[in-house]
Amino acid sequence: MSKEELDARSMKALMTIASAWYDQMKAGDIPSISLPTRTKYNIEYDDASEVWKYGDKESLRTAATAKSATHLLKMAYVIGFVKQQLIENRSSTLREMYYISEGWKRAKFGAQDESNFLVEDLEIISDVPREGFHLRPEENGASIYGPMRIREPTRRGLKMIHCQDDVGSAGYSIPNNVENLELVDHDAKFVIAMETGGMYDRLIENGFDEEHNAILLHLKGQPARSTRRLLNRISQTWNLPILVFTDGDPWSYRIYASVAYGAIKSAHMSELLATPKAQFLGLQPSDIRDYNLPSDKLSDKDVEALNAELTDPRFATDYWKKQINLQLELGLKSEQQAFAARGLDFVTKKYLPARLSEMGVI
Amino acid sequence: MSKEELDARSMKALMTIASAWYDQMKAGDIPSISLPTRTKYNIEYDDASEVWKYGDKESLRTAATAKSATHLLKMAYVIGFVKQQLIENRSSTLREMYYISEGWKRAKFGAQDESNFLVEDLEIISDVPREGFHLRPEENGASIYGPMRIREPTRRGLKMIHCQDDVGSAGYSIPNNVENLELVDHDAKFVIAMETGGMYDRLIENGFDEEHNAILLHLKGQPARSTRRLLNRISQTWNLPILVFTDGDPWSYRIYASVAYGAIKSAHMSELLATPKAQFLGLQPSDIRDYNLPSDKLSDKDVEALNAELTDPRFATDYWKKQINLQLELGLKSEQQAFAARGLDFVTKKYLPARLSEMGVI
């Protein structure tokens, strides 16, 4: 969707909310709004889109009580603020909007959690991602390197950037809003999204992107929203396999889960933010055993997290049950850079080709 | 210094250490090495270079005991490993080298702290930064945006990049080694290094870089080594004012201090990593008062940190004493994005022009 289309859709959706209130008041009714109940008891797996979404349970907020009336007042202020941003073609961070509410008298937010939550409500009601409201997150996106070209609208005009030829060795810095990024073309066979910068730099230095026509992405730990959105768009637009390569511990498996399935708090955005086709590449507990990797003992917290994953619906597959049970049995975890114990080329010359071929990717 | 020169200097320095041991053994002496004592009691302010450096205290490590002999053995292995990297033109992360030591039998490192410390020792003895050894940190550098051109050697050849025209809206991603980066030319009057991505994006969106010919840099919290090195090089090469803009709390003042003065653990690299001419722009405690900014109460930990700064030699100036005492009196702290309470343009149209003119920068 182009910037103009997204802007128009956002404006229309927000004005629809406001005019519904106007009509309610004109008819002598108390203004209200209904929202899906946002708890894990109202999350359902949608077979068609392969993502978790909110179910049918709704709750009604009506201005009949002072508390709910204040909530609607705040929402009205946010709608007014976003409308102004759309008209002036400005944007702001969620944090800035929170501070701006200082001037909104009774609609002032008490804490940023409250304003973030309200923006999520607006995303749900309007079915527009907050990027459409020109609201940016604090955190930056990650970096990407590989045979692909993007076109990005910037203050200084449209920029066409080839993510190998036109960038430095740290790659293309993913902006915090990728809705307006055009995926122009590519010459890639698959994407590897990596947890650590050390592994990202290793693959670039070893020329893995050139040898295998691979797009390399540095997730920078738990991935930011724009990073997950870009993976989703690459998967949908170019239909490329997305492979997630992390450390071999329960916290890293959650990084994979957030790429593939999303999080409960953003379940309303799963179709935009999750990449259900993303596959877990490694580091697998069986790799620790098969490659006899340097490892550390699992801590009590690790064991607890692994046990929690055994009952987590996102890990309810034979593959994960087998791997997690194996890890509990071994009592060990390893980092992805542990492959260096076999030499700096081992990961790109042996491990990845073997694993990718086992997965049917190459 | 070009890559070739730095490589040659590294190789020579490391071989000098090894051949000294060889000569000692040939003469029937026990091999040894002497190092500056690395504690805060051996840090001195160097007037000429305006940075903190190690003093004259040295300690001798001799292979007469098993413990020290093992230390020298490890150092010999690291020297051999780095020599191989220089010959093959490879590089590795500190973490990878730690894993590689798995194969070094009795010279295997027990923990990464130990190998990092040994690399610092080698930096001190050889007077070569670890970038010269082709050892990379894990963490990525930050981003930069503004009227300047750099030339970066990459696997795919030399890349000339203009940090406004040739990059996306997130800017140029600073690589983890900036020694080989050539600072080609610029059209800037000053550099603002910012703590938060929100403020960096704000200044870019508001066109502050164009209006004031400013280079904008996102520090990403506590700045990585390559970020500090780049600021040092810009200050030395182009003699531009470097201004640090952070939140107004004691932890953020430490970010400024690490840019301007460096840290004890890297005191041997201060001339390369510190930028003594860097000035603190804000957010100042007096700004909280003068602009009546939204603020939070100081926590006990904040007060403790402010009191510690009052006795820290790096903050021993009239300016800092006055500001810190004022903050303790106010009992308040503010974030740099708090300026948004006055509107999204306030920081670029009012605050920064006023403050920069007060500082004599514009």
Task: With both helix axes pointing from N to C terminus, report the angle between B66-88 and B3-26 in degrees, rounded to the nearest 10.
Answer: 140
Contacts of A196 in chain B (CB under 8 A): 138
Q: Are A255 and A223 in contact (CB under 8 A)?
A: yes
Contacts of B166 in chain A (CB under 8 A): 159, 166
Asked if A335 and B161 come within 8 Å (Cβ–Cβ), the reply is no
> Which chain A residue has its CA at the smallest distance from B97's CA?
A340
Q: Are B145 and B204 in contact (CB under 8 A)?
A: yes
* B93 → closest Cβ in A136, A175, A198: A198
Contacts of A164 in chain B (CB under 8 A): 156
For the purposes of burial, counting CB atoms within 10 Å of the CB of B240, is it exposed (0-12), middle (13-18) or buried (19 or more)? Answer: buried
Chain A contact present for B158, CB below 8 A: no
CA pair distance B292, B278, nearest whole angstrom: 27
Q: By C-alpha distance, which of B320, B259, B312, B309 is closest to B286?
A: B320
* Residue B138, amino acid: E
Chain B contact present for A168, CB below 8 A: yes
Q: Tokens 């704000």 — which residue?
A: B202
Q: What is the pLDDT confidence band of residue A141, given thresholds at 50, 70 and 90?
A: low
The pLDDT > 90 percentage for chain A reads 70
Q: Is the pLDDT of residue A226 over 80?
A: yes
A253 labelled catalytic: no
Q: By C-alpha distance, which of A106, A103, A111, A171 is closest to A141?
A: A171
B74 Cβ neighbours under 8 A, 6+ residues apart: B101, B104, B107, B109, B114, B115, B118
- pTM of the shown model: 0.89
Task: Specify the range with the lowest mean pLDDT, choosing from A158-167, A317-326, B38-47, B220-229.
Answer: B38-47
Contacts of A335 in chain B (CB under 8 A): 95
Identify the active-site residue in A54, A77, A99, A145: A99
Task: Give me B178's structure tokens.
Answer: 């900036």
Asked if B96 and A202 come within 8 Å (Cβ–Cβ), the reply is yes
* Residue B66, amino acid: A
Q: Is the pLDDT of residue A102 over 90?
A: no
Query: What is the per-residue pLDDT for B262?
Result: 82
Task: Give me B285's structure tokens.
Answer: 């405690």
B165 Cβ neighbours under 8 A, 6+ residues apart: A156
Which site among A85, A288, A337 would you substitute to test the B interface, given the most B Cβ atoms closer than 10 Å to its Cβ? A337
Report which secondary-structure segment, H or E, holds A230.
helix A225-238
Q: Tokens 């080989």 — which residue?
A: B180
* 3-class secondary structure, A5: helix
Q: What is the pLDDT confidence band of residue A320, given thresholds at 50, 70 and 90?
A: very high
Query: What is the per-residue pLDDT for B38?
Result: 76
Query: What is the per-residue pLDDT for A245?
Result: 98
Q: Are A146 and A215 in contact (CB under 8 A)?
A: yes
Task: Give me B210's structure tokens.
Answer: 């164009």
| B36-73 tens-digit pLDDT | 887 767 777 777 777 777 778 888 889 999 999 999 99
Which site among B97, B149, B155 would you substitute to test the A interface, given the most A Cβ atoms closer than 10 Å to its Cβ? B155
Q: What is the pLDDT confidence band of residue B35, given thresholds at 50, 70 and 90?
A: confident
Task: Give me B216's structure tokens.
Answer: 């904008």
Task: Give me A29's structure tokens.
Answer: 């009714």
The pLDDT > 70 percentage for chain B reads 98
**Structural domains present in chain A:** 3-136 (1.10.10.10), 143-358 (3.40.1360.10)
Report which secondary-structure segment, H or E, holds B143.
strand B143-145
> Which chain A residue has its CA at the smallest distance from B198's CA?
A138
CA pair distance A285, A331, nearest whole angstrom: 10
Query: What is the per-residue pLDDT for B141?
Result: 67
Task: Specify the range with the lowest mean pLDDT, choosing from A33-37, A47-51, B168-172.
Answer: A47-51
